[in-house]
Structure 1
């Protein structure tokens, strides 16, 4: 790339571009197993796997898939929480030449059916407690192989015996009987070996179908290649030049079925030989705090709602969080106040905002972790990523103007699975290279720092004025009594749309709607001040913790029709 303004703000040791070797996704694990065979790769509620053990299990799993008829390019859906089995299945499927289909454990039967049908997955790895959801739609999908596992399969003795007993007492244990079509995880690995058949897979082949979260319509499968995923891992690694390979500990709290957790936590950790302290439930804040205290993680990728939950949890002051040195927040906008508070309680951990999309593997922008990070900014493009704020034709706009953020680089998807029309809508050739049109409205300052103003579809037009929800939310988050906030547009007969805020107060706090409006008037133009404020005990969120503005909008639409 030609000289870009953001290069001047790269930290020492961060290259302008990175070389992407012709590797496959599972080569990340193979290389670390060769370099650090005896180092603990995974720590999970007392159960551990070294890198050589992790690779052996992945190879056993790959062999089992191949023996059961899985061929190159077949889709393998993985519906598991963060667990050793999730990592083994992910890399084992890749070793077998299959295409992984990351599947949310929170999916209801209808959503699961859509993803299995759309991807054409014939193999499903699923937790036993999720199995009844699959049974509801079993006759409607073409799944031929089901591998069932449980949390107990990854626990040491005697925890593996106690866990089912506790689950049965809570009536939460689901017993699944093996059939010709359904096999249990321990039995599958017990009767196999690690002799994986060679498969002719190339870096440009699809490694993963990662479905968009559905916040902007029907979920679509982004086709991410081995090259895309390896590239983004190498780009993220280059952004943290002080990482010590074979020595770091990473907190695996964000879900690995989500594209951000998969790359920023799982793949990056595997690539640098880090120990992953796995958390199966990202909402279990007490467990996260205890794990940080005990495992002393140095790297903590997360999302704003997770950091915010730690900031406001009553147990946080009882734990030592000072081991954390680098935190990159993704998936949603990071409120300035959340970052400041987290920095205080960790005694200086660098929590910076990044940006990415499912379609970009996912990270494209990050603030410098130790250099100049600008509050409210998503930072600057990663090495080998080009970005611009553009008009609808892709023409670059001057610094400071609002336009659509478009990006280009080796981490950009091939397109959407079996959706050529929608692929052409977002992937366009401009100035001799392919750009992804993100749908996000942004600005770039003269130094090359980007700011997301909001999604195109989220912009509120009130009385002819554009209101960007994020700006209003930032003001609300700065209020000392507010824990969470989301801003949406609601129908208004006079203005077309009116600004509405939905807020969650901190425990024990009380403030009126009128007081919040007065507070907003100090920092917002009159037309941006919420005309309506609704108080809730919680906000609707995706599985990874991203606030679902669309769900709030739909609830307003439903209220209007009653």
Structure 2
């Protein structure tokens, strides 16, 4: 058996056929049932000429269909491509072209978007539509999802697969159009999926993984809050299923804090994964307002965005027995490390200890000396993604060779503490240069969110005639409370150096974020620059 995700799932399904694999709305599937449904879809796709190496768009809300579809595609050695369900026609057209899509699985409500995106193109080899209560007719041949499954055999008679088969995650739409990150299944298993043993040592063989699942060594019930268009949610799915555990989904189009908390109790979820403060704050507010049974919850893990200290403190007060973990990583690098609350650095910035494959490098590829205070680039070697599927220049920028060793440099800047911990500072691409001083937005955003009246905040640069750029904050407040610039600066002085203080503020009703919970910096930049030029 190879480290191929379809092979591994099938082996676990054979060893634990009656384990509950999936809870999504009213749908509950055991490992055996999910396996058979994926077989049916895989056979249908093969009947449409889809095979090894072909790319199929998954233009879907969270639900059992996404899980079934990506497993079905891996069974036939094809690749599922996540498409942001907020995209309009031209953006979906970009995805069709960039990812060379042969087919799409979509919601009925998105059929008009698909019609616009495919105008002037040859018909897709497969267009599979999930009914969602909306009436829309496709301009090309299509089939309803359950009908497609009904036309496929549930027999598992697919050919051999390889650990070299590809897993592609489209990422990065905050600063431009998304790019497809290519992983070999085997490399992703060890670098992104915790080697089959969450929090433990990676397995030494596929057979060990199956035994662990059978014996329940690491079996967990996990509930990802983020949509599957976000790599972190997909990773949660596979980490869960590789333990033989149950994946719980909030079925549908949007994040609902109340429904998430209800599912924790209804499905006995032990691990809740989310994306930073944008998801944590509504959960905190709902916990305060409602009466929810959280007795089975043991871990809250944030991936894709760091939980600010003030938000962590609120969670700890409400859920004192739950471990809170900040997970560091990117779609390009996989897992970089994790830090619990008591492992934060002296300034409250999350930090973690370096493994042999993770370090901080300067521009020449030399390791930053611990305790030097120098800022460098977080880098990882070892098992890495292959690069971007259709972006050679970007691959060369992110994947570098130093002293004969290949490294991925995702764009995060950090320093190394005297005791060897890496302390994250922020994304280099958003670093603000004001009068020659570097300001990382994340530092100021966390300071702002420590204010009792500020709910969420984004920090961006706006032009300044004296300093080149100045720090501008866009935030919303509880009960739309007005705060003056002087009040905000006075608060922030307790948390950051004077040169990092906001010089301009804009209070909005809401703070825009991507469906994944990641910052919508283009939105904040427009708001701040419009105010600066007014």
Partners in 1 of 2:393 and 2:181 — Cα distance?
A: 13
User: Could you tell me how far 1:278 is from its partner in structure 2?
Assistant: 0.8
Check whether the contact 1:463–1:496 (CA below 8 A) recurs between aligned residues.
Answer: yes
Partner of 2:8: 28
- Tell me if the contact between 1:44 and 1:83 (Cα under 8 Å) persists in the aligned partners: yes
C-alpha deviation, 1:148, in angstroms = 0.4
Alpha-carbon spacing, 1:501–1:53, altered in 2? closer, same or farther (3 Å): same
Superposed displacement of residue 299, structure 1: 0.8
Query: Are 1:333 and 2:314 counterparts?
Result: no
Seen in structure 2, the aligned counterparts of structure 1 residues 432 and 533 have a Cα distance that, compared at 3 Å, is same
CA distance in 1 between partners of 2:339 and 2:323 (Å): 10
Q: Does 1:211 align with 2:211?
A: no
Cα distance, 1:254 vs. partner? 1.6
After TM superposition, the score normalised by the length of structure 2 is 0.90
SS in 2 for 1:438: coil
The one of 308, 319, 325 equivalent to 1:346 is: 319
In the TM superposition, what is the alpha-carbon distance from 1:419 to its structure 2 partner?
2.4
Unmatched 5+ residue regions in structure 1? 1-20, 152-163, 165-172
Distance 1:258 1:346 in 2: 26
Q: Which residue of 1 aligns with 2:98?
A: 118
Structure 2 vs 1, CA of residues 448 and 237 (structure 1 numbering), >3 Å: closer, same or farther?
farther
Partner of 2:151: 191
Matches of 2:531 and 2:484, distance apart in 1: 22
The question of whether the paired residues in 2 share the 8 Å contact of 1:481 and 1:510 is answered with: no
Q: 2:130 aligns with which of 135, 144, 149?
A: 149
2:389 aligned with 1:409: no
Secondary structure of 2:509's counterpart equals: coil
SS in structure 1 at match of 2:272? coil
Contact 1:63 1:196 in 2 (8 A): no
Kept in 1: contact 2:328–2:335 (CA 8 A): yes
Cα pair distance change 1:320/1:149, threshold 3 Å: same
Root-mean-square deviation (CA), in Å?
2.4
Which residue is equivalent to 1:391?
Answer: 362
Where in structure 2 are the equivalents of 1:434-445 lying within 5 Å?
Answer: 434-445=406-417
Superposition deviation, residue 333 in structure 1: 2.5
CA displacement, residues 500-523 of structure 1 (integer Å, 9 cap, x when unaligned) = 111111246553332112212233
Larger deviation, residues 493-502 vs 542-551: 542-551
Pick one of 68, 91, 94 that aligns with 2:48: 68
Cα distance in 2, alignment partners of residues 545 and 23 from structure 1: 31
- Asked if the contact 1:72/1:199 (under 8 Å) is kept, the reply is no
Deviates more, 1:543-552 or 1:297-306: 543-552
Q: Could you say which residue in structure 2 is the equivalent of 1:274?
A: 245
Give distance in 2, aligned partners of 1:557 and 1:479. Answer: 24
- Structure 2, unpaired ranges of 5+: 202-211
**Aligned mates of 1:488, 1:235 — CA distance in 2:** 34
Match of 1:14 in 2: none
Contact 1:28 1:270 survives alignment (8 Å): no
Q: How far apart are residue 526 of structure 1 and its match? A: 2.4
Give the alignment partner of residue 310 of structure 1, picking from 264, 271, 283.
Answer: 283
Superposed, 1:245-260 pairs within 5 Å as 245=217, 247-260=219-232
1:213/1:542 contact within 8 Å kept: no
How many positions carry a matched residue from both structures? 514
Could you say which residue in structure 1 is the equivalent of 2:181?
222
Q: 1:548 to 1:508 in 2, by over 3 A?
A: closer
Aligned to 2:74: 94
Contact kept in structure 1, 2:300 and 2:323, CA below 8 Å: yes
Distance 1:180 1:518, change over 3 A: closer
2:135 corresponds to 1:174: yes
Distance 2:458 2:96 in 1: 32
